[in-house]
């Protein structure tokens, strides 16, 4: 079972919308998926309350119960658990970092987001946890601002090669209890989420895109 956490001590970066869309995309891929919402704002849990489908289920768990919850989910045969965390430094955030196989740090291409990520990075380095930035809510077309942000984040740690643009599908899907792959399965937002999911799964398996390409050729 893999555990993927969305973490950052900065609000508005799109943690919750990425978390729910990644979960739906993983479900569509045939994985058994569960979500845990550790954020008191309960954005993911509220999304699930609006959702017509029964999966992926979203539960709220206290930080001191996270480890036990993950053990129970592993015993039930889940393939992937996605953790949505608060936008502040809390025991829940630390617990998620400790439990995760990979922590994704969403960041918009702005100085404020890049600077705000520093405390999160210090915490992850102290815990010795694998992490990567993912540029989110970027201008739809390749821009100097996005490229500059990518270079700046590279100096601070790994950066996902998948960049997500600012698209209305994310807002609309979250409001309707959907993932972007359900909102418009052929849309650009859906393609980006699927690519990010593939990248994250390969990272947690210790593989790369090159490994995947070789497997497809074989």
What's the pLDDT tens digit per position in 135-186? Answer: 999 988 777 888 888 888 888 888 998 999 999 999 999 999 999 999 999 9
Measured from the Cβ of residue 186, the count of other Cβ atoms closer than 10 Å reads 7
Report pLDDT for 208.
Answer: 64
Summarize the confidence of residues 98-103 as an average pLDDT. Answer: 96
Report pLDDT for 84.
Answer: 96
Q: What are phi and psi of 204, to 5 degrees?
A: -70, -20
Report pLDDT for 161.
Answer: 86
pTM: 0.91
| Angstrom distances, CA of residue 186 to CA of 144, 169, 173, 193, 207 | 27, 11, 14, 11, 27
User: What percentage of residues in the chain have a pLDDT greater than 90?
Assistant: 72
Summarize the confidence of residues 54-67 as an average pLDDT. Answer: 95
Model confidence at 190, pLDDT cuts 50, 70, 90, reads very high
Summarize the confidence of residues 32-61 as an average pLDDT. Answer: 96
Report pLDDT for 132.
Answer: 94
- List, in sequence order, the alpha helices (H) in 60-187: 66-75, 91-99, 111-116, 118-127, 144-154, 168-175, 180-183
Report pLDDT for 209.
Answer: 53
**Which range of residues forms the domain containing residue 210?**
2-217
Q: How high is the mean pLDDT of the chain? A: 90
Model confidence at 211, pLDDT cuts 50, 70, 90, reads very low
Model confidence at 11, pLDDT cuts 50, 70, 90, reads confident
Summarize the confidence of residues 90-117 as an average pLDDT. Answer: 92
Total domain count, the chain: 1
Report pLDDT for 155.
Answer: 82
23 with 177: CB under 8 angstroms? no
**CATH number for the domain harbouring residue 15:** 3.40.50.300
Report pLDDT for 144.
Answer: 86
CA 98, CA 61: separation in Å to the nearest integer?
15
Summarize the confidence of residues 190-198 as an average pLDDT. Answer: 97
Report pLDDT for 213.
Answer: 39
| Angstrom distances, CA of residue 127 to CA of 14, 17, 58, 94, 135 | 24, 26, 26, 9, 23
């Amino acid at each position: 079972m893999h555990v993927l956490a969305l973490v950052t001590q900065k609000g508005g970066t799109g943690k919750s919308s990425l978390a729910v869309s990644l979960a739906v995309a993983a479900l569509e891929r045939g994985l058994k998926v569960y979500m845990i919402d550790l954020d008191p704002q309960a954005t993911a849990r509220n999304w699930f309350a609006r959702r017509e489908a029964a999966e992926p289920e979203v539960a709220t768990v206290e930080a001191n119960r996270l480890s036990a919850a993950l053990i129970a989910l592993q015993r039930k045969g889940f393939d992937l658990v996605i953790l949505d965390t608060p936008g502040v430094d809390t025991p829940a955030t630390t617990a998620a970092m400790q439990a995760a196989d990979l922590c994704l740090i969403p960041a918009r291409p702005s100085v404020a987001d890049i600077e705000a990520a520093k405390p999160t990075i210090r915490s992850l380095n102290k815990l010795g946890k694998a992490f990567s930035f993912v540029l989110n809510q970027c201008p739809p077309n390749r821009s100097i601002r996005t490229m500059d942000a990518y270079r700046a984040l590279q100096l601070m740690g790994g950066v996902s090669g998948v960049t997500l643009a600012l698209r209305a599908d994310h807002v609309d899907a979250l409001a309707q209890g959907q993932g972007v792959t359900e909102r418009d399965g052929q849309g650009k937002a859906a393609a980006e989420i699927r690519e990010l999911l593939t990248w994250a799964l390969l990272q947690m398996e210790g593989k790369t895109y090159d490994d995947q390409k070789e497997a497809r050729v074989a």
